[in-house]
DNA sequence: CCTTGATATGACTGCGCAGTCAGAAGGCCG
DNA sequence: CGGCCTTCTGACTGCGCAGTCATATCAAGG
């Protein structure tokens, strides 16, 4: 299975050098400044001249030079996103939501990934973005790689808790994965389970910590001592390993997994160990990945709405960028809830 | 479940205006040009001055202004990526691979998503990117929204077939999803199945067409008339619907799904219809998503290596950008193969 | 008729950097 | 010692745009 690559040379278009506004001006018989006026929709340009400029520009294939615009205005209209280099459903969905929101606000996106093991990780990624001249920075699902001292010249939006950030403006949003985690745990308790076990995501991820915290708090509030938590790495494989350990303990009747992949791994391990889901054991996931409704059994899970989170948070960031000084307020976000399917049930007996 | 947002005002750092190289020069007691020399690692700068400039720059927090550099050099060292606005595993993985490869080559990434339904879709996205001044464009998994006339001023890399592109250089790579699709089909025939049914991805996607073509060709080569293909939309839900139709036909013994999500939907439908996988029906997927090994039954599928595809293809693109005129050759890529698990077996009897 | 203000256009300039060229300082050769 | 090359540094300039300010035109008002 080799993939072949075709390279076609100058397929038609020669690489023409870009056309500056001065050439448009010459063709239209006006000054360069007037061309600039037309393209910025400034008033005080007669309709006739406006039309002449527009058609001259079209004829020459004029395109405003962003670098020059940025040089004069000091604004690039680009946001930098620091993302994890992963195709996990949650982070990937969040990125899609961020792009959509940014574009709606008139901003382009520069994306830099940080490998999870990368030492200078987030700090280096931010540095890269600052060097590129972004107007603001979005930290999507930051993870803890040890205490950091992150200094940014531009406003920062952190989608997830992240201490140690210094910037003209710091906005933190989406830091409440503990709320849905509570819902999941409460739901299982409400079904009659004595306790709920947790297969957690890697605790370097702030989102994993928040989910674990929500689970723990709920149990404590109910007067239950939280059982030992099993830590996975978001993969179904780690969920499977965790499931094998939990299957060996006959007192386990309900499991809250930190994401759907791990939940699927847990269910698989239970099946292998001869324990039926949900009759013997209830399992609830987190994310509502697209296949969640079609695995066997269909997975009860927590659904989040990344789009509205991204839209709300980015709107606040952009306000902070465009009106320095003001502290933008962020509205609360509704971001989903529990989706009950067939992997959860009241305990036996 | 509301998410709250915190906005902290000037958390420490004032938004200092950027420091130009002339200020560094003044502090170091040299000319602006010498600062430029130091930062471009040009020869003919004495060690003493070099050190003085470097420490002056550090002291002031100097950062080269990318817009100005781009303005003089004409190069932004940024690539534009046109991606689908989707968290599907394939496209998301490809994006991760592209980012990794671009960074390794010293390029930053601008990402624009096209909604699948968006009329001016790819063309508009490319226009957006050209306006941003990217040095090259990557079309990741393009889809067919009708005949297009896409004109780019900069080299274009298309990861997937896409006719109608005019640019100084057009590279097409990854256009051979038909090869793995052949492998999948041949594998099922090799197990003894009389024919193989196909649950295809949406045929607007070139990758879906290529997979369907590979399946069809294999059957024809084996002297088998391809049965009618069922078209899904990549989701498990559509796979489920397709599976219900296929389950009603007792002659169906083997199904090749265009991706793993649909395969999982098919398996679910089969289970509902009382047909066991793989005893009654074999199902093979495509992508090898992370949960594939842990669903019930573990899914036989095709695994692709997006990283090596992206690395090879982007290297060719960058060569094309940096050495205009030359036509870069692209090496063949090995990109994975079949992963046999438990959803496939010889037919009954 | 002149003044005032609104409308319309252009000349000039600077954003920050790197390319070009000029020149200074030092070493080597004949 | 003069000529010449090598090494080092700076002045000047332009990239393409938008901001500032000056100017020109025209209509309305006194």
Over residues A24-82, the pLDDT tens digits come to 999 999 999 999 999 999 888 999 999 999 999 999 999 999 999 999 988 999 999 99
User: Given 3-state DSSP classes, what are the helix, strand and coil percentages for chain B, each rounded to the nearest 5?
Assistant: 40, 20, 40
A293-336 confidence digits (pLDDT tens): 999 899 999 998 888 889 999 999 999 998 877 777 776 666 67
The CA distances from residue B207 to A155, B28, B96, B140, in Å, are: 40, 57, 18, 11
Looking at residue A325, its pLDDT comes to 72
A73 touches B at CB < 8 Å: no
Contact B263, B301 (CB under 8 A): yes
The per-residue pLDDT of chain B, averaged, comes to 89
A18 touches B at CB < 8 Å: yes
Residues of B in contact with A293 (CB under 8 A): 236-237
Q: Which two tokens stand for residue B331?
A: 């090496």
B182 has pLDDT over 50: yes
**C-alpha torsion B35→B38→B40→B42, nearest 10:** 120
Q: Which of B3, B13, B64 is nearest to B38 (CA)?
A: B64
Locus of tokens 């006006």: A30
% of chain B surpassing 70 pLDDT? 91
d(CA A3, CA B161): 12
Contact B196, B211 (CB under 8 A): no
Backbone angles phi, psi at B200, to 5 degrees: -90, 160
**Residue B81 C-alpha, separation from nearest chain A C-alpha, in angstroms:** 10
Report residue A197 CA to chain centroid gap: 27
Rounded, the Å distance between the CA of B69 and C1' of C28 is: 39
Per-residue pLDDT band for A206 (boundaries 50, 70, 90) equals confident
Contact A173, A330 (CB under 8 A): yes
A86 has pLDDT over 60: yes
In this complex, the residue with its CA at the shortest distance from the C1' of nucleotide D12 is B33
Rounded, the Å distance between the CA of A31 and C1' of C11 is: 9
Looking at residue B108, its pLDDT comes to 93
Looking at residue B54, its pLDDT comes to 94
d(CA B309, CA B327): 19
Q: Which of B15, B16, B10, B4 is nearest to A327 (CA)?
A: B10
**Which of B336 and B165 is assigned the larger pLDDT?**
B165
Nearest to B11 among A2, A113, A170 (CB): A170
Length of chain B: 349
d(CA A209, CA A223): 21
B175 has pLDDT over 70: no
Locus of tokens 């698989």: A268
B265-321 confidence digits (pLDDT tens): 999 999 999 999 999 999 999 999 999 999 989 999 999 888 888 999 999 999 999
Helix B32-39 to helix B47-60 angle (10° resolution) is 90
Residue of A64, A103, A291 to mutate, testing the B interface (most B Cβ within 10 Å of its Cβ): A291
B116-140 confidence digits (pLDDT tens): 656 567 888 898 899 899 999 999 8
Nearest to A87 among B92, B176, B331 (CB): B92
The helix/strand/coil state of B276 is coil
What is the average per-residue pLDDT within B180-195? 95
Q: Which two tokens stand for residue A345?
A: 């049930």
Contact A266, A243 (CB under 8 A): yes
Residue B242, burial from CB neighbour count under 10 angstroms (0-12, 13-18, 19+)? buried
d(CA A68, CA B95): 29
A106-137 confidence digits (pLDDT tens): 999 999 988 765 656 788 889 989 989 999 99
d(CA A160, CA B209): 40
Q: Which of B174, B171, B175, B173 is nearest to B317 (CA)?
A: B171
d(CA B251, CA B259): 22
Backbone angles phi, psi at B82, to 5 degrees: -100, 115
**Ordered DSSP codes for B217-270:** HHHHHTT-PPPPPEE--SSHHHHHHHHHHHHT-TT--EEEESSHHHHHHHHHHH
Q: Which two tokens stand for residue B260?
A: 């793993």
Per-residue pLDDT band for A10 (boundaries 50, 70, 90) equals very low
Which of B7-16, B44-53, B166-175: highest mean pLDDT? B44-53
**Ordered DSSP codes for A143-175:** B-SS---EE-SS-EEEES---SEEBS-EEEE--
Q: Which two tokens stand for residue A318?
A: 């952009």
Looking at residue A173, its pLDDT comes to 82
**Which of A233 and B179 is assigned the larger pLDDT?**
A233
Per-residue pLDDT band for B4 (boundaries 50, 70, 90) equals low
What residues pair up with A81 in beta bridges, in sequence order?
A111, A138
The helix/strand/coil state of B302 is strand
Q: Are strands B136-140 and B156-159 parallel, antiparallel or unpaired?
A: parallel
Q: Which two tokens stand for residue B321?
A: 């950008």
Contact B45, B38 (CB under 8 A): yes
Enumerate the H helices of A143-274 as residue ranges. Answer: 178-190, 206-221, 236-247, 260-272
Looking at residue A1, its pLDDT comes to 43
Q: Which of A156, A239, A114 is nearest to B293 (CA)?
A: A239
Contact A130, A82 (CB under 8 A): no
Q: Which of B343, B191, B144, B185 is nearest to B260 (CA)?
A: B343
**Which of A274 and B334 is assigned the larger pLDDT?**
A274
Nucleotide nearest to B45 (CA to C1'): D8
Contact B92, A91 (CB under 8 A): no
Per-residue pLDDT band for A211 (boundaries 50, 70, 90) equals very high
Looking at residue B8, its pLDDT comes to 59
B186 has pLDDT over 70: yes
**Which of A70 and A179 is assigned the larger pLDDT?**
A70
Q: Are strands B338-339 and B301-302 parallel, antiparallel or unpaired?
A: antiparallel
A-to-B residue pairs, Cβ atoms closer than 8 angstroms: 325
Per-residue pLDDT band for A253 (boundaries 50, 70, 90) equals very high
Q: Which two tokens stand for residue A230?
A: 């099993």
Write the CB contacts of A201 (distance below 8 Å, at least 6 apart in sequence). A207, A208, A211, A231, A232, A233, A234, A258, A259, A262
Locus of tokens 């067409």: B209
d(CA A193, CA A190): 7
Rounded, the Å distance between the CA of A69 and C1' of C4 is: 37
Rounded, the Å distance between the CA of B119 and C1' of D22 is: 47
B33-59 confidence digits (pLDDT tens): 999 999 999 888 999 999 999 999 999
Looking at residue B1, its pLDDT comes to 44
A349 has pLDDT over 90: no
Q: Which of B230, B337, B329 is nearest to B286 (CA)?
A: B337
pTM of the model: 0.89
Looking at residue B2, its pLDDT comes to 44
Looking at residue A150, its pLDDT comes to 86
Nucleotide nearest to B31 (CA to C1'): D10
**Which of B175 and B210 is assigned the larger pLDDT?**
B210
Contact A288, A315 (CB under 8 A): no
Looking at residue A175, its pLDDT comes to 55
d(CA A49, CA A57): 12
B79 has pLDDT over 60: yes
Which nucleotides along chain D are within 7 A of a protein C-beta?
A: 7-12, 14-20
B215 has pLDDT over 70: yes
What is the average per-residue pLDDT within A276-286? 95
Backbone angles phi, psi at B120, to 5 degrees: -80, 5
% of chain B surpassing 90 pLDDT? 66
């Amino acid at each position: 299975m080799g993939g072949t690559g075709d390279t076609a040379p100058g397929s038609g278009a020669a690489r023409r050098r870009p056309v500056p506004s001065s050439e448009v001006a010459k063709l239209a018989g006006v000054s360069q400044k007037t061309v600039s006026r037309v393209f910025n929709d400034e008033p005080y340009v007669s309709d006739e001249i406006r039309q002449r400029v527009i058609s001259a520009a079209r004829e020459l294939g004029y395109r405003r030079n962003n670098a020059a615009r940025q040089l004069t205005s000091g604004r690039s209209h680009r946001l930098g996103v620091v993302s994890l280099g992963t195709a996990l459903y949650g982070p990937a969905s969040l990125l899609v939501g961020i792009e959509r929101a940014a574009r709606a606000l008139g901003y382009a996106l520069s994306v830099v990934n940080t490998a999870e093991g990368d030492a200078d990780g987030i700090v280096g990624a931010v540095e890269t973005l600052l060097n590129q001249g972004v107007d603001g920075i979005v930290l999507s699902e930051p993870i803890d790689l040890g205490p950091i001292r992150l200094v940014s010249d531009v406003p920062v939006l952190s989608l997830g808790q992240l201490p140690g950030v210094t910037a003209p403006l710091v906005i933190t949003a989406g830091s409440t994965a503990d709320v849905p985690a509570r819902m999941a745990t409460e739901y299982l308790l409400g079904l009659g389970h004595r306790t709920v076990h947790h297969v957690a995501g890697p605790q370097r991820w702030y989102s994993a910590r928040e989910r674990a915290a929500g689970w723990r708090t709920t149990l404590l509030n109910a007067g239950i001592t939280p059982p030992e938590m099993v830590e996975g790495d978001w993969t179904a494989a780690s969920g499977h390993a965790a499931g094998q350990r939990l299957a060996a303990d006959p007192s386990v009747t309900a499991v809250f997994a930190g994401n759907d992949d791990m939940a699927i791994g847990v269910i698989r391990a239970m099946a292998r160990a001869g324990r039926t889901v949900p009759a013997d054991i209830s399992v609830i996931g987190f994310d509502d990945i697209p296949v969640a409704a079609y695995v066997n059994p269909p997975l009860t899970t927590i659904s989040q709405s990344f789009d509205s989170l991204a839209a709300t948070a980015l709107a606040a960031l952009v306000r902070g960028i465009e009106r320095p000084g003001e502290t933008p307020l962020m509205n609360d976000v509704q971001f989903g809830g529990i989706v009950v399917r067939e992997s959860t049930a009241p305990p036996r007996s």
